[in-house]
Amino acid sequence: MNLPASLMTSLSKINSFDRDAFVQVHESGEQVVSVRLNPLKPSIVNGEWSIYNQQSATHHLSFITHQPVPWSSSGYYLGERPSFTLDPLLHAGAYYVQEASSMFLEQALKQSVELDQPLLVLDLCAAPGGKSTLLQSVISKESLLVSNEVIQTRVNILKENIIKWGAGNVVVTNNDPTAFSKLHGLFDVVVIDAPCSGSGLFRRDAEAIKEWSEDNVQLCSQRQQRILADAWNCLKEDGVLIYSTCSYSSEEDEEILDWITSNYKVESKKLKVEEKWNIDEVQSTAGAYGYRFWPYKVKGEGFFIAAFKKKEPADQLRIKIKTTQLPSKQEATIAANWLKHTDGLTFIKQGQNIATIPTQWNETIQYLMQELKVRYAGVEMGTIAKNDLLPEHALALSTMISDSVIRVELTKEQALDYLRKNEITIEIPHKGWALATYNEHPLGWMKLLGNRINNYYPKEWRILMR
């Protein structure tokens, strides 16, 4: 691996940098594989969490061994990299494949925020969704997550992963950070996993080396400052800002912490880090605390994270709702029959589509839909036609679906055929809508027609791997 000489020269200025160890770990070819399990969708076999091991000729489930990611409550290392695409549980949202170091976001949040309180959280640079799904797993069910991605082509994969995770306390938006500057003091927490030069991912993605340059580091640093400046107004007083990158460069890490402390009134949060984790605590020139992950010291990739509390007043935001589109009483009754319960839920309409959102966040979500480009909110349920619901895929993957809905358990081969949107032959005595399930986890909708089955898996989500 041909590491950039200018990068190595710049890293040598960092006290904890070990050149020989850094080169060795990048030349080792070692691949660290980790997943984070979905607490909303436990996948348990004989009392142990498990995911499918594609390499097993017997098609048995491969148990996750005693290798938890130490700073994560639901992260685990795998001994090898299975073919995740060919595991139906991935498509069911039972787990997310996430780099282990970045799971430290959980610690930054737990040590900076009262998580038992209802919080409004913004994940500003969210695609593809690893940190957003982590946030949804850590915040309380009374909280609301706004998951934003500025790039339109990337917001689709973000929406897909949010839907697979299955929680209903979320809004997905597609906005430039400038759009949030007018939402004065709205958010309790703002997470900015900033676009960066990507040097922390060299071991995992050797192609990233070709794109790295000193000029790009400077451009990224300037972009990070702009994003932070745009987002600052939407964080309330005493709200928490969590900043992270997958870059080693001090220009994108410590120097950004200095930029924050010189431009705003903040309190840098010192986090408790166990010595055995081998995470480096650093201090910027201004004394702000940051946490750097070296791949030769931790079982994970390069990562940097810091947390601040805002110590200056924010303007008071006045929320005014212009219009609200609600379903009729009959439409709401039809939709309610598909849910376990409707306590704490409100039905809204987006065009002809009915969605359910948390009642306590109704006004906030309506306001966000008015002020931002909202791509998804709550749980999309479907449309009403001939006094029946034509269900959306999001409803199938949500944790709200009624237990009375018919379920059809599939074998692994049948599940993969379903996910490829192929025809499936199963003799089922029922007719009507049914959930296709694998290991009791819903994969999507099918329509039972007596002598045949219609596969309603989304065409744009289907897997192509054989």
Does residue 125 have a known ligand-binding role?
yes
Separation of alpha carbons 186 and 121, rounded Å: 9
Residues 6+ apart with CB under 8 A from 392: 353, 380, 381, 382
* Gyration radius of the chain over CA positions: 23
Cα separation, 259 vs 49, in Å, equals 43
State the distance between the two ends of the chain, measured CA to CA, in whole angstroms: 32
Choosing from 196, 220, 234, 246, the catalytic residue is 246
Q: Is 220 a catalytic residue?
A: no
Please answer whether residues 193 and 244 qualify as being in contact, where contact means their C-beta atoms are separated by less than 8 angstroms. yes
Rounded to whole angstroms, the Cα distance separating 235 from 244 reads 17
- 167, 171, 175, 179: CA torsion to nearest 10: -140
Contact 162, 133 (CB under 8 A): yes
What is the rounded CA–CA span in Å between residue 213 and residue 460? 35
Do the Cβ atoms of 69 and 99 come closer than 8 Å?
no
CA distance 288 to 286: 6
Q: 129 labelled as ligand-binding?
A: yes
Residue 130 annotated as binding site: yes
Q: Say if residue 127 carries a ligand binding annotation.
A: yes
Residues in CB range of 466: below 8 A, 6 or more apart:
none
- 126 annotated ligand binder: yes
Residue 426: name the closest of 452, 395, 404 by CA.
452
> What six digits make up the tokens of 312?
């200056």
Alpha-helical segments (H) within 194-337? 207-211, 214-232, 254-263, 329-336
Question: What torsion, rounded to 10 degrees, do the Cα atoms 7, 9, 10, 16 define?
Answer: 110
Bond from prior residue into 68 cis (ω within 30 degrees of 0): no
Distance between CA atoms of residues 439 and 441, nearest Å: 5
131 has binding-site annotation: yes
> Element (H or E) spanning 8, and its range?
helix 5-11
Q: Which residues are annotated as a binding site for S-adenosyl-L-methionine?
A: 125-131, 149, 176, 193
Q: Among all residues, which ones are annotated catalytic? A: 246
Q: Which residues are annotated as a binding site?
A: 125-131, 149, 176, 193
